[in-house]
Structure formats: structure tokens, C-alpha cells
Amino acid sequence: MNADTFVQKLEGDIVVFTGDAGICGGARVALVTDSGDEYAIAPKGAGADLAELLSARVAVSCEIRSTEGDAACIQVRSYTLLDEFPDE
């Protein structure tokens, strides 16, 4: 683990990632916190599962990796689904 990486707990909603997927190994989804911060989710480990949970509210334990500019990438270690999907 380098100085720019640390474990943290975040909570927010899973959304489609519209930024540069190259910053996070091909990220397709992101976590948006209540404060509006967006974190691209690396598509490996527990993060790969989150691509199937669009619009879900989750709590994640993750490593935050600093990247260039305002973009940030997270490696999700584990997550908890905080709400149920509405009946369709």
C-alpha cells in the first residue's frame, strides 16, 4: 500500500460511470456519496458485483487510489446493500 492509498468506508449510490474508464481499469460504475463526490469503481474483486446493482444504495469498505485531477478510483473490498430494489 502506498501513501496515496488507504482503507475507508464510504456510503452512496451506484451509478453509471461517465468519466474516463482508463483511470480505473475499465470502470463501468461509480459510487456517488451524499456530498456529491464520485468514485470510479475498479471492476475486480467485490467491485465487479456492483456493476449489477445500478441505483442501489451501498456501504463499501475500499481502498481509495488517488489519480490525476478530480477523478478518484476505489478498489472495493466488501460491500453491504443498504436498500432493497423496488418490485418491478
Percent of the chain with pLDDT over 70: 83
Closest by CA to 57, choosing from 13, 24, 26, 2, is 13
Residue 81 predicted with pLDDT over 90: yes
Q: What is the mean pLDDT of residues 24-45?
A: 92
Residue 57 predicted with pLDDT over 80: yes
Assigned CATH topology for domain 5-78:
OB fold (Dihydrolipoamide Acetyltransferase, E2P) (2.40.50)
| Cα–Cα distance measured from residue 78 to residue 60, given in angstroms and rounded to the nearest whole number | 6
Residue 37 predicted with pLDDT over 50: yes
Cβ–Cβ < 8 Å for 31, 60: yes
| Cα–Cα distance measured from residue 48 to residue 53, given in angstroms and rounded to the nearest whole number | 10
pLDDT score for 70: 66
Phi, psi of 4 (to 5 degrees): -90, 5
Cβ–Cβ < 8 Å for 79, 60: yes
Cβ–Cβ < 8 Å for 44, 29: no
pLDDT score for 3: 45
